[in-house]
Amino acid sequence: MVLEGLGKSLRDVLGRVNSSSVIDEDLIKDVARELQRALLQADVNVQLVLELTNRIQDRALHEEPPAGRSPKDHVNKIIYEELVGLLDNGEGLELKPQTIMMVGLYGQGKTTSTGKLANYFVKKGFTVGLIGADVYRPAALDQLKQLGEKVNAEVYGEPGEKDAAKIVKNGLSKLSGKKIIIIDTSGRHALEDDLIQELKDIAAVAKPQERILVLDSQVGQQAGPQAEAFHNAVGVTGVILTKMDGTAKGGGALSAVAKTKARIVFIGTGEHIRDLEPFDADRFISRLLGMGDLASLVQIAKEEIGEDEAFEKVAKNMLSGKFTLTDMYQQMQAMTKMGTLQKVMSMIPGMSKMEDKIDYDASQAKLSKYKVILDSMTVNEKDEPTLIKGKRIDRIAAGAGVTGHDVRELLKQYNQSKKMMGSIGKDRKMRKKMMKQMAGMDPNALQDME
Ligand SMILES: Nc1nc2c(ncn2[C@@H]2O[C@H](COP(=O)(O)OP(=O)(O)O)[C@@H](O)[C@H]2O)c(=O)[nH]1
Ligand SMILES: [Mg+2]
């Protein structure tokens, strides 16, 4: 999981808040100190850490919780908001014709991300041209050409030419019919003056609307100075964090973003061309804090989704281990009422890849069907589902206007859900399965996702 270490220590801090009986000055100061330690360990810049924790401490001590919010939830919410604020520097890339210049050191993922971005814009219906302005590595142009071919973007390059700005100038005129132009540039192992000059020259010729810093999320403390130097050279407007699929500490990347004040536009989550996700600070922090944990999910979901009692009740029932058809009914009701299954799913660590594979409409349709079936059952049957067999199944099916097969399917789903209740919270895989169950999915479909 992304930023495993930082995520864990931040969750510990929130756990500390949630398990204390009183929220007082001592606790808040303790929590601020623990937050500092967690962030520093993840390589977040010291100055930044101090500013952030001072703000959190200040708000936690002086801001009155709004009516109806407990002091605990209030502190949680402040920590959450401030962490999001750290990263939330604006919208993603605009869907309009533009020139985008990629910058970054060697091996950070510039060329790969150029291909991914091209794919992104092609999928949105734009024509895309790529300019190979990496004059430093001989194979760079071939790499870009291969990517261009894959995603249906035209590539311009001049093998052997050493003047990057000249290539860009020629490329721009050759590709002038393309709506989106992306310029891949050279890197170095370390920042050098000639690279900086080269980038300045390219920027002067291309006047790109976006100057995107590509940054490997595993880069630690050097990320800050690195970002600053690129920023001074070309004025970084956005960041793509790559290799988020690895086990990065990630704090360096956070510092870099704070330093340039540029927004993160995308994260790279793998080597494949489609492994690019638009960045969403809320979601990123939710994942980092492990909002998949039921307790935190309830706390945040309450405010973010506007649901409260139903959801809380569902969560309590699930954790209590007692689980009847009525509980499942309520659980489903809460889920459909939220209507935003997708949002809940997105809060669960590691779910993003899976989200693509989930057919939300089909899940919702299934939930509606189950609801009708449950409405045809008696209270007794819902509390004691073992009663439901033989003639009862026929009666329920007739009442609901479905087949006996549908009723048995619901019972099967119930039995599977029930089996899982005991194991929730023990490990992440189980939680994933549970969420799938709640979405009314076929649990067998899980296998190809694990
Ligand atoms: N796992 C993973 N690998 C990536 C990602 N982005 C790039 N890479 C790999 O990182 C290496 C360097 O990428 P490249 O685009 O050539 O970097 P450049 O030198 O900055 O152009 C390649 O092996 C890529 O496949 C990512 O998001 N996840
Ligand atoms: Mg490259």
Secondary structure class of 442 (helix, strand, coil): coil
What are the pLDDT digits (tens) for 408-425?
A: 999 988 887 777 665 554
Query: 247 CB less than 6 Å from ligand 1?
Result: no
The neighbour count for residue 307, using CB atoms within 10 Å, is 20
Cα dihedral 140/141/144/150 (nearest 10) = -130
Ligand 1 pocket: which of 241, 271, 276 to mutate (most atoms within 8 A of CB): 271
- CATH class for the domain made up of 98-282: alpha beta
Token pair in block for residue 192: 């050098």
pLDDT of residue 439 exceeding 60: no
- Tell me, which fold does domain 4-87 have in CATH? Four Helix Bundle (Hemerythrin (Met), subunit A) (1.20.120)
Q: Give pLDDT, residue 164.
A: 97
350 residue type, one letter: G
Tokens linked to 255: 């510092």
Contact 241, 233 (CB under 8 A): no
What local confidence, expressed as pLDDT, does residue 369 receive?
85
Verify whether ligand 1 is closer than 6 Å to residue 271 (CB atom).
Answer: yes
Collapsing DSSP to helix, strand or coil, 241 comes out as strand
Contacts of 187 (CB under 8 A, 6+ apart): 104, 105, 106, 107, 108, 110, 134, 136, 195
The helix (H) or strand (E) run that includes residue 290 is: none
Say what percent of the chain tops pLDDT 90: 39
Ligand 1 midpoint to CA 340 (Å) = 34
Is there a common fold for 4-87 and 291-449?
Answer: no
Report the C-alpha gap between 185 and 134 in whole angstroms. Answer: 4
Mean pLDDT of the chain: 79
- What is the domain partition of the chain in residue ranges? 4-87, 98-282, 291-449
Report the DSSP beta bridge partners of residue 239: 213, 264
**Residue having the nearest C-alpha atom to atom 10 of ligand 1:** 109
Q: How confident is the model at residue 427 (pLDDT cuts 50, 70, 90)?
A: very low
Higher pLDDT, 290 or 427: 290
Higher pLDDT, 359 or 347: 359
What is the Cα 204 distance to its own chain's centre?
35
User: What's the pLDDT at 290?
Assistant: 56
Per-residue pLDDT reduced to its tens digit, 123-177: 999 999 999 999 998 899 999 999 999 999 999 999 999 999 999 999 999 999 9
- Enter the pTM of the model: 0.64
Please give the number of the atom of ligand 1 that sits closest to the Cα of 137: 19
Q: In the predicted model, is pLDDT for residue 373 greater than 60? A: yes
Q: What is the pLDDT of residue 359?
A: 56
Q: 291-449 sits in which CATH class? A: mainly alpha
- Tens of pLDDT, residue by residue over 54-67, are 999 999 999 988 88
Alpha-carbon gap, residue 247 to 1, rounded angstroms:
6
DSSP SS3 for 68: coil
Sheet harboring 210-216: ordered strands across?
154-156, 128-133, 180-185, 98-103, 210-216, 238-242, 263-268, 276-278
Counting ligands in written order, which one lies closest to the CA of residue 186?
Answer: 2
Note the pLDDT of residue 251. Answer: 67
CA of 111 to the centre of ligand 1 (A): 7
Q: How confident is the model at residue 441 (pLDDT cuts 50, 70, 90)?
A: very low
Instruction: Tell whether the torsion through CA atoms of 10, 107, 199 and 167 is positive or negative.
Output: negative
231 alpha carbon – ligand 1 mean position (Å): 21
pLDDT of residue 41: 79
More confident residue, 84 or 322: 84
Q: Kindly state the tokens that stand for 216.
A: 């490997």
Rounded CA-CA distance 275/118 in Å is 12
In 207-262, beta strands by DSSP E: 210-216, 238-242
pLDDT tens, position by position, 239-285: 999 988 765 556 677 777 767 778 889 989 889 998 898 887 776 77
The yes-or-no verdict on residue 440 having pLDDT over 50 is no
